[in-house]
Amino acid sequence: MAFEPPRRLVTALGETAQDGDDWLEKLPEAVEQSVALRELTVERTHVPGGRSSLVLLVRRADDTPAVLKLVPPRSRPESERAALAHWNGLGAARLLDPELSDGALLLERLHRDVSVRSLPEAKALLEAAGTLRRLWVEPPAGHRFETVAERTGRQADAMRASAAADADVAPLVDAALAARDELLAASVRPRLLHGTFRQSKVLAGDRLPWLAVGPDPVVGEPAFDLARLVRDRVEDLIASPSGASITRRRVKKLAESLEVEQERLRGWTLFRAVESGVRALRVGRPQDAELLLEFAGWL
């Protein structure tokens, strides 16, 4: 099967490539094997697609539409599979091949060109928050999901290295790391979280109006998950003369609507914005970094 991976995927994976990473080179063969194993017919590649996976629109042997998603090992496809299987369609796209484990995922097909982000901002936040709430369930017994403490610990190490190399970001990094330490010191009831939730991760469906896709699941407190939603449409916030006050109102509104502590949501929003900002600097996206770090400064 001949195809070209979407340019967006190639560029994004190139930013974080490691020596010996040959997933892209082996992708045509992996697609052929996954399609044959599931007896699928490929319609087309979804373009522009995501930054961490290849998405193919396919049909199953009984002609029902589906999506085949191929994920590099570094993006933890088996963790995504386990989370989707546990949710079993509750708030998220349904996994259609739970018995397989080959780095590919067969999912119910949603309307990939219609996300919550297409709605007016207030409505989009409301629908996204409602979808996110459904995902916050008790993790399965004996789970092997990464915890918030583990994930943010890795991120914190990279943030310290960035701060040591760039004095301009050091004050924000110090504030973000202090917030993380304080947040992790408190005992909270852990939940299975989406991990990378934002408006563009909520797509229109037929079974339910809106369903989440693309989790990078993690176990921890809901405020961590909600924090990424706070900064959605960050470019619009930065462009607004009242962006700082809008952000503070958004934190308050989301915290109240989803019953999380406002100060914990603010703290995780700060940490995640600074982490994303210094990571953008590290991989050569200075404009994204500037937006994120200015946003973090409002918190």
pLDDT tens figures, 183-239: 999 989 999 999 999 999 999 999 999 999 999 999 999 999 999 999 999 999 999
- Please tell me whether residues 62 and 84 are part of one structural domain: yes
Best CA proximity match to 262, nearest among 273, 274, 248: 248
The pLDDT tens digits of the residues spanning 253-284 come to 999 999 999 999 999 999 999 999 999 999 88
Q: How far apart are CA 182 and CA 165, in angstroms?
A: 25
Work out the pLDDT band at 103, boundaries 50, 70, 90: confident
Domain contains 216: yes
Question: Residue 48: what residue type?
Answer: P
Q: How far apart are CA 274 and CA 292, in angstroms?
A: 7
Give the length of the chain.
299
Residues 6+ apart with CB under 8 A from 257: 126, 129
Query: Among 62, 82, 109, which residue terminates a domain?
Result: 109
The pLDDT tens digits of the residues spanning 240-252 come to 999 999 999 999 9
Best CA proximity match to 32, nearest among 8, 68, 79: 68
- Please tell me whether residues 166 and 277 are part of one structural domain: yes
- Please tell me whether residues 149 and 253 are part of one structural domain: yes
- Please tell me whether residues 161 and 192 are part of one structural domain: yes
Domain contains 36: yes
- Please tell me whether residues 142 and 175 are part of one structural domain: yes
Residue 181 pLDDT exceeds 70:
yes
Domain contains 278: yes
Q: How far apart are CA 279 and CA 161, in angstroms?
A: 11
- Please tell me whether residues 152 and 276 are part of one structural domain: yes
- Please tell me whether residues 158 and 235 are part of one structural domain: yes
- Residues spanned by the domain of 274: 115-297
- Please tell me whether residues 89 and 185 are part of one structural domain: no
Its pTM stands at 0.92
Measured on CA atoms in the order 72, 191, 255, 297, is the torsion positive or negative? negative
